[in-house]
A and B are shown apart, each in its own frame.
Chain A
Amino acid sequence: MSKRIKKIVKEAILIVGITFFLIFAFILPYLTDIPDIYLRNISILFLSATLWVTNVIPPAVTGILIIAITPLFNILSPEKTFSAFGNRAIFFLLSAFIMASAVFKRGLAKKFSFYFLKFFSKTPFLLLSGVFSISFFLSLLIPEHATAALLFPFLLQISHKIKNKKFQKFLFLSMGWGCVSGGIGTPLGGARAPFAMGLYQENFGKVITFFEWTKYSFPPSFIFLLFGILYIFLHSRSIPKESIEIEEIDSSFKREEFKVLFIYLFAIILWVFFSDKVDMAVTGLFACFLLFVFKVITWRDAQYYVNWGIIMMYGGAIVLGTSLYKSGTAEHISYNFLKIFIHKPFILLFLFLLLTLILTEFMSNVATCALLLPIAYGFSNVFDPLFLTLFIAIASGLAFMLPFGSPSVAIAFSSGKYSIFESVKYSTPFFIIAPFVLYFSFKVIFNFTGVNL
C-alpha cells in the first residue's frame, strides 16, 4: 500500500470515527430512547478505537483521554474511574517490566542465547528452530518485545554470516514467531494478560492466579512451538546446508547475572507453586525490591528500560472495559447486535475470534483486548467469563503477520531482510491454525467454555 493510500485510509477512519463519536455523544441522546449512558459509553468506544487504530496520538495519550472523559460523561464517578489504577494487575505488570529491565541490562539472556544457539548452529534447520525456541522460552519469562530487543543485535551479527537470503529471512521471522508464541504462554509475556486479569477482577470480583492463567495459556503456546518447529523444518529443506560460526562473546557469568538468575527463580517458584498464598503482584514487587537492594539495577535503569506510558495505556483500557461492562453498555451492544447468534455459541465464538485475530494484526494487543473483551463479557451468561477472558486475551496476542500489531514482529521486520508481503506470505499458516489451536486447547484439552459448543 503506498504512503498516499495509507494516509487516505487513516484520514477516512479518523473522520468516520470522530463523526460517530459526536453523533453518539451529542445527537443520538436527543433522538432515541436508548439510555444516554449507553450512547455516551459507545461514543467513547468509537473514539478510543479510532485513535488506537490510526495512532494519530500515542496510545498512552488515548488512555489519558479515556480516563478524563469517562467521569466527564458521568459514566463512572471519578473515584471509581481512578480506583482502576489500584488493581493488582497493574502492579504485576509494572514488576514484570522492571524485572525484564534487569535481564536486559545485565545481558544474562544474551549469554544463554549464545550457548543455546552455538549448540544449534550446525544446520539451517537447527539454527532456525533454535532461534524460534530461545525466543519462545525467553518470552515465557520476560515481555515478548524485550525478548526481541535482546535477541535482535545477536541475530543481526549471525545474519551477516549467512549467504542464503531465505535463511536470513527465516532467522528473523523465527524470532518474531517464537516471541509471539511464547508471549501468550504466561502472564509475563506482555501487557494484555495482566490487563485481562485486571478487567476480570474489576468486573467479576474474582482473582486469576499466575498458575491458573498459565495452566490454560501454556498448552496453546506450546502447540505453536511444535507447529513452528515443524513449519521451519519444511521450509529449511529448500535452504542449502551451511554451518554458521557464532561469534564468541564474554561467556563468563558475572555476580550480577547470578543475582538476576536467583531473583527470577525465586519469583517463578512463588508464582507457580504459591500463587494461591502469595499474590502474584506482591511476588513481582518483592522481586523488584530485591533487584534494587542488591544493586542489580538502579532507579535510573528502571526509568530508561521501562516505558512508563504503558501505565496510562493500561489505565485507559481498564477504565474503558470497566465502564462498558458495569454500565450495562457491553450487554446492550452484545444483545442488540449479536443476539441472532445467541443460540449458536460456536458461531458467536468464531466471530469474536476472527475479529480479535484480524484487529490485533493492525493495532496494539492491549487495545484489541480492551475493545473486544468488555463486549465479549456481554455474553458472560452464555460463556464462563474466565473462559472469555483467557480466550480473547490469548487470541489478541497472536499477531504473527504484520509489524503493526506486535512490537516483536516489528523488531524482526526492522532487520530489512524481508518485505511486508513476505511477512504475510510466510506467516499466514500461523494465522490459519490459530483458531484450531485455541479451540483444541480449550475444548479438547480442558473442555472449558462454560457452554456446550
Chain B
Amino acid sequence: MKKVLVIFSGTRDNIEIIDRILEIEGKNIFLKVVFILSDAIPSNFSTWLMYIGFLGEEPTKEIKELIIKEIENLLFEKRDLLEKGLKKKKVNFNIEFLKGDFSFLLKEKLREEKWNSVYTPKAREVVIGEESVENFDIREI
C-alpha cells in the first residue's frame, strides 16, 4: 500500500484535487491529509494593517482574531467535506488539522513516515523554503 501525504495550507486550497491524486495514485493507498493553518497569514496581514494601514493596536488585534477564526472555520468546512467524500470513495485515510509555522510543521510531517509521494497545492519553492528537502518527492498540483 502506498503512503501519500497531502498538505493544504490556506483558505483557497481546492480539495477537489484529491480526485486528481486518486486518479494518479489509484485507490490502493493510505491518504494522509494535513490542513495547516499558518501563523503567517493573519500575522502578516495584521502587521500590514497596523504599520501601513495605520489601524490602531486594539482594532488590529480584534481583526486578526476574527481572521484566524474565519480561516479556521473555512478549513473545518473543507475538512468535513473531504471526510465525507473520502468515506464515500472507501479510501483509507486520516485527516489532521494543525496550527503554527507552516514550514516547521510541514517538515515534521515529512519526517513522520516514509511517504511514497507528497502533494501540495503550494508552489514547490514556498513549501521547501530555505532548507532543502530534496529527499522527498514533493509534487505541485
Contacts and interface: CB of A to CB of B under 8 A. Distances in A.
Please classify how large the interface on chain B is, using the bins under 10, 10 to 19, 20 to 34, 35 or more. 20 to 34
Interface string A298-315: 000101111101100100
B63 interface: yes
Given A410-B49, A416-B74, A419-B12, A104 B59 contact: yes
A145 B49 CA distance: 9
Given A407-B49, A416-B74, A146 B59 contact: yes
Interface in B45-83: 45, 48-59, 62-63, 66-67, 70-71, 73-74
A78 interface: no
Contacts of B58: 104, 301, 304-305
A307 B48 contact: no
A419 to B, nearest CB: 7
Contact of A407 (B11, B55, B62, B74): B55
Contacts of A58: 51-52
Interface stretch (A148-156, A231-239, A349-357): A148-156
Contact of B57 (A97, A146, A307, A414): A307
Given A149-B63, A411-B63, A414-B67, A306 B52 contact: no
Contact of A60 (B45, B51, B55): B51
Interface string A310-324: 100100000000000
Interface string A383-403: 000000000000000000000
A106 to B, nearest CB: 13
Q: Is the interface of A mostly helix, strand, loop or mixed?
A: helix
A307 B54 CA distance: 6
Q: Is the interface of B mostly helix, strand, loop or mixed?
A: helix
Contacts of A191: 54
Interface string B7-49: 0000110000000000000000000000000000000010011
Contacts of A310: 54
A340 to B, nearest CB: 35
Please classify how large the interface on chain A is, using the bins under 10, 10 to 19, 20 to 34, 35 or more. 35 or more
Contact of B71 (A301, A309, A416): A416
Among the interface residues B11, B12, B49, B62, which one has the most CB atoms of the partner chain A within 10 A?
B49
Nearest to B11: A416
A149 B11 contact: no
A145 B53 contact: yes
A152 B51 contact: no
Nearest to B47: A58
A277 interface: no
A3 interface: yes
A346 B14 CA distance: 49
B123 interface: yes
A176 to B, nearest CB: 12
Contacts of B108: none
Contacts of A360: none
Among the interface residues A146, A415, A416, which one has the most CB atoms of the partner chain B within 10 A?
A416
A185 interface: no
Contacts of B74: 416
A416 B12 contact: yes
Interface string B81-120: 0000000000000000000000000000000000000000
Interface of A: 2-4, 55, 58-60, 97, 101, 104, 145-146, 149, 152-153, 156, 160, 191, 301, 303-307, 309-310, 313, 364, 407, 410-411, 414-416, 419
29 contacts: A3-B123, A4-B125, A55-B51, A59-B51, A104-B58, A145-B55, A146-B59, A149-B55, A149-B59, A149-B63, A301-B58, A303-B57, A304-B56, A305-B57, A305-B58, A313-B54, A364-B52, A407-B52, A407-B53, A410-B45, A410-B48, A410-B53, A411-B49, A411-B63, A414-B67, A416-B12, A416-B67, A416-B74, A419-B12
Q: Which 7 A-B pairs give the minimum distances between C-beta atoms?
A: A407-B53, A58-B51, A304-B58, A416-B11, A305-B56, A149-B59, A307-B54
